[in-house]
Structure 1
Amino acid sequence: MNIFIREMKANRKSLIIWSICMVLFVLSGMSKYTTYSSGGAASEALAKLPHSMRALLGMGTFNVSKMSGFFAFLFPYIEVTVAVHAVLLGSHILAKEERDKTTEFLMVKPVSRSSIMTSKFLAALANIIVINVVTLISSIIFVGAFNKGKDITSEIIVFLLSLFIVQLIFVSLGSLFSAILKKPKTAGSWATFILFGGFIIAKITDLAENLEFLNVFSPFKYFSYEDIVNGDGLNFIVVILSLVMVAVFSTLSYFFYQKRDLNV
């Protein structure tokens, strides 16, 4: 418990900054909705964009003049931003002891490495839950403020549930890189590289439907935004497989962290 509290205090400033940034991000995105929903020349220009351009911008087949379609268009950018937070948190929460030269202080405590990791994982989980809840609440508030059509609160909740699963994937992936690499300070760079690689794959498969098999390498494509907008929710099988992936990454993190020689 002491380690958990210590980690929460250590990440408090970062958590506050990220939370404020997410509120401002959602507000900024929602403030642009009036441009898309006004029905003027801007809306006509968007409607006439070729499929490839709409796919590149993340619009796909969504009707961005409606709030449900606009939120689905905005959501990938919310998702990748929050995923960056998760992957950096996962990689740094294990590596920071070696970075800050406090490994020896931690290791002399009468606790096992597995207990240390569990406390750190719980602290990371608490952080991503806070970010998710902040994003959820700000999305509901600002969507409600700008929306003049059908209420989409239920769709927003499903979107943020899918976001939470993606957060779990990347926080566990970041911790795995930190546990495996001999220089854990580079874990954040490698994990972020993988994250943006997944985002690029998502954009490629939006442009080229014959490459959709690559979506298995991109958590950003695990859940269908179209299904969420249409009220079909999340694919149960994909949810289970995603949680299995999180479990595998986390278990491997425990295994490699137990075996690795820590730098003091």
Structure 2
Amino acid sequence: MNIFKHELIMKKQSILIWSLSLSAFMIFYMAFFPALAKDAASFDSIMNSFPEEMLQALGIKEGLSIASLIGYFTLTFGMIQLAIAIQSANYGFSILSEEERELTADFLLSKPVSRSTIYFSKFSAAFLSLFVSAIAVGISSLIALRLFNGGESYRLAHVLKLILTVPVFQLLFMSIGMFISLLFKKIRSVLSLSMGLAIGLYVINSVRGIIDSDLLGYISPYYYFEPGVILIDGIYDLKLFGLAIGIIIISLVGSYLLYNRRDIHSL
């Protein structure tokens, strides 16, 4: 029984839908920028009427105009991050709990494979599925910037650095979801939990932007990979990047230990 192959086949439709949806959103949303750039002054005057706290909540750094290419792409990529977080958390919450929800645990655990093999096969299939979506986001981002830059220049190296954060961002939400899923006896609604986690942490990061609290930002993964910071400075915050890696390792090790000791509920 090839669990890895089976999980990929089961996620085939999900991978296709998520990849196409994320790519379509990126290209569709960026297609509005050239028209916006032609009347940048009027748009800036409108945006200046909004409270600064509101713009910070949207991830727009002080002095960065949404009517500029980098500002508009920062806003667009921030919304893409929210969708990516929901997808990643959804895979994390579901991958180790689906047999218990569907009452098929007996069938899986009766096979001559260890729980460690099941865990790593499922994890590998889920992460590969997410990586396909990450590639789709990267390609669509580059296409959108090339087609709809409105004549403005951008630093390709900085854009590539931002795109490279996507797999780590995905793994962070997926690993947290995996760990939390094993703290429940049984998960009834994966979607509600994944959306709650992704949106809840997004709100925390928005509040952090409003009150300008770095301490609060450590709670939210969105703070670790802020598009505006990476696109402008072209560097990673190594302290936050290290924190992300630490959370991933702790979550994966914790979920592995919990899964191997778990009393699996079945028929």
TM-score bracket, normalised by the shorter chain, equals: over 0.9
Q: Deviations over 1:155-196 (max 9, x none)?
A: 222222223222111100111122221013345533432322
8 Å CA contact 1:99, 1:185 repeated in 2? yes
Match of 1:157 among 130, 144, 160: 160
* Aligned partner of residue 254 in structure 2, secondary structure: helix
Normalised to the residue count of structure 1, the TM-score between the two structures is 0.92
Partner Cα separation in structure 1 for residue 50 and residue 246 of structure 2 = 39
Q: Larger % of helix: which?
A: 1
Q: Which moved more, 1:181-190 or 1:124-133?
A: 181-190
Task: Please state if 1:250 is matched with 2:252.
Answer: yes
8 Å CA contact 2:101, 2:186 repeated in 1? no
8 Å CA contact 2:59, 2:78 repeated in 1? yes
Partner Cα separation in structure 1 for residue 125 and residue 207 of structure 2 = 35
Match of 1:81 among 80, 83, 87: 83
Partner Cα separation in structure 1 for residue 57 and residue 190 of structure 2 = 29
Task: Please state if 1:60 is matched with 2:77.
Answer: no
Match of 2:184 among 169, 177, 181: 181
State the shift of 1:126 in Å. Answer: 0.1
| Residue matched to 2:47 | 46
Letter in 2 for 1:112: S
State the shift of 1:138 in Å. Answer: 0.5
Q: Give the gaps of 5 or more residues in structure 1.
A: none
Match of 1:207 among 206, 210, 231: 210
State the shift of 1:236 in Å. Answer: 2.3
Q: Deviations over 1:94-123 (max 9, x none)?
A: 111122222111111111101100000000
* Aligned partner of residue 153 in structure 2, secondary structure: coil
> Measured at CA, do residues 20 and 181 of structure 1 come closer, stay the same or move farther in structure 2, by a change above 3 Å?
same
Q: How many residues align?
A: 263
| Residue matched to 1:25 | 25
Q: Deviations over 1:24-63 (max 9, x none)?
A: 1102220221343122523432244331232244433222
Q: Deviations over 1:73-110 (max 9, x none)?
A: 22211101001000001111111112222211111111
Letter in 1 for 2:19: S
8 Å CA contact 2:74, 2:227 repeated in 1? yes
Q: Give the gaps of 5 or more residues in structure 2.
A: none
Partner Cα separation in structure 1 for residue 43 and residue 70 of structure 2 = 19
* Aligned partner of residue 239 in structure 1, secondary structure: helix
* Aligned partner of residue 233 in structure 2, secondary structure: coil
Work out which structure has the larger RCO, using CA pairs closer than 8 Å and 6 or more positions apart in sequence.
2
State the shift of 1:17 in Å. Answer: 0.6
Q: Which moved more, 1:178-187 or 1:145-154?
A: 178-187
State the shift of 1:247 in Å. Answer: 0.8
State the shift of 1:146 in Å. Answer: 0.5
Letter in 1 for 2:32: K
Root-mean-square deviation (Å): 1.9
Letter in 2 for 1:249: S
| Residue matched to 1:128 | 130
* Aligned partner of residue 36 in structure 2, secondary structure: helix
Q: Deviations over 1:115-153 (max 9, x none)?
A: 100000000110111111100000100111011221333
| Residue matched to 2:172 | 169
